[in-house]
């Protein structure tokens, strides 16, 4: 079997030829994903690398605004079929499409995909087929209702959760039930996607598109442009907060999903993006800067989250910490105060009830008191010397 690891006792990357080129593409298209994928158990590493590249190719076609609508839909709807066509490439991407080279050399991905075990191929081809059909639908449909929003996020992210969970199960690194509880897997994808959509509103509107559901933003603005304008900023923030609430509702499912993952490299692979998401949605909530540009968590904070996301208890502590931050930002005058309070309070209680020792201690007040004590002591010391 071509993709069987040479030594399952080591995670050291040992690939050559076309697979080496696939890892080059992984580095080119997403350094963050490249790092976590290459840390995966060898039984999963190549398969998930190829799964990512195939979906990235699909996403590149969807994002390319230079491809005529009919042709785009045809490519999206048949992309799962070309996975079995040796030599297939796509050279019609626009000049500004940053991942176009992946499609130009897609035959390399196909060669390696066709050497995966059959059960891996079956999962990847099935998810590619369903995602391509969903993407094709939304080249013409708009995200109007909350149902549309959930469906769109399912097609572009929830299905990724489905596919990964099924791969975890067929690899036998996780229990088969992980590949069966697909509602939880869907929520994992939706929490990430909704966080990104919420954060990226300024960039998307300036690019002439908007993924915030019309059912939400039209309550606060007459147009997408007005949503991010300085005029009526209070209404824009209310719309932002409603989007945050919609994303936060997935937290219970995220916690339940992570609780069933046991293999260490798989756990980190799943947990790190979720830790980044809770940090990001906490930053976005009630933050007018989101409407002015793309806000991001600090690099040092991101590195800390990566290093801390190693066990279910450590991830629960991360979530608890950001839930506390959300709680502090939740002004009683905010129209969504009660909803946020309810979500945050329940999530904190659920975490506290399952952590050894109960709720993590919030030292921020204690640190503030200690700092005040030292400042006061220094002030009185210098006052004493002056006299």
The residues that are catalytic are: 152, 199, 209, 269
Q: How far apart are CA 362 and CA 371, in angstroms?
A: 16
Q: What DSSP element (H or E) covers 367? A: helix 364-386
Q: What DSSP element (H or E) covers 131? A: helix 118-137
Q: Which residues of 157-168 are buried (b: 16+ CB within 10 A; e: fewer)?
A: bbbbbbbbbbbb
Q: How far apart are CA 105 and CA 112, in angstroms?
A: 12
Going by C-alpha positions, the residue among 4, 58, 47 that lies closest to residue 23 is 47
Going by C-alpha positions, the residue among 185, 26, 2, 9 that lies closest to residue 99 is 26
Q: Which residues of 335-366 are buried (b: 16+ CB within 10 A; e: fewer)?
A: ebeebbeebbeebbebbeeeeeeeebeeeeee
CA distances from 83 to 65, 75, 80, 116 (A): 23, 12, 6, 12
Going by C-alpha positions, the residue among 312, 340, 315, 308 that lies closest to residue 326 is 340
Going by C-alpha positions, the residue among 191, 252, 244 that lies closest to residue 216 is 244
């Amino acid at each position: 079997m071509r993709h069987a690891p040479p030594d399952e006792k080591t995670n050291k990357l040992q690939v050559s030829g076309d697979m080496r080129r696939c890892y080059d593409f992984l580095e080119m298209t997403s350094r963050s994903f490249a790092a976590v994928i290459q840390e995966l158990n060898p039984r999963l590493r190549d398969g998930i690398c190829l799964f990512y590249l195939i979906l990235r190719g699909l996403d590149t076609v969807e994002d390319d605004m230079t491809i005529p609508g009919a042709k785009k839909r045809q490519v999206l709807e048949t992309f799962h079929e070309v996975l079995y066509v040796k030599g297939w490439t796509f050279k019609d991407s626009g000049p500004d499409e940053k991942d176009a080279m992946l499609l130009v050399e897609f035959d390399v991905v196909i060669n390696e995909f066709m050497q995966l075990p059959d059960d891996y191929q079956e999962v990847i081809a099935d998810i590619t087929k369903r995602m391509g059909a969903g993407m094709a639908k939304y080249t013409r449909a708009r995200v109007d209702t909350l149902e549309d929003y959930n469906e769109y996020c399912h097609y572009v992210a929830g299905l990724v959760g489905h596919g990964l969970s099924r791969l975890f199960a067929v690899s036998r690194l996780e229990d088969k039930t992980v590949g069966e509880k697909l509602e939880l897997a869907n929520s994992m994808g939706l929490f990430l996607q909704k966080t990104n959509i919420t954060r990226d509103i300024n960039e998307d509107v300036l690019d002439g598109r908007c993924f915030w559901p019309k059912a939400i933003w039209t309550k606060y603005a007459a147009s997408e442009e007005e949503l991010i304008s300085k005029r009526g900023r209070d209404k824009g923030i209310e719309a932002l907060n409603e989007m945050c609430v919609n994303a936060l509702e997935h937290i219970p499912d995220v916690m339940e999903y992570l609780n069933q993952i046991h293999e260490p490299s798989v756990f980190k692979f799943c947990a790190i993006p979720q830790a980044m998401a809770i940090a990001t949605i906490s930053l976005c909530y009630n933050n007018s800067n989101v409407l002015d540009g793309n806000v991001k968590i600090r690099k040092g904070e991101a590195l800390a989250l990566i290093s801390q996301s190693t066990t279910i208890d450590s991830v629960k502590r991360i979530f608890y910490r950001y839930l506390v931050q959300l709680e502090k930002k939740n002004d009683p005058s905010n129209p969504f105060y009660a909803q946020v309070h309810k979500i945050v309070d329940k999530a904190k209680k659920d975490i506290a009830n399952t952590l050894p020792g109960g709720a993590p201690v919030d030292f921020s007040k204690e640190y503030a008191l200690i700092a005040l004590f030292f400042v006061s002591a220094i002030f009185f010391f210098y006052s004493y010397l002056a006299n």
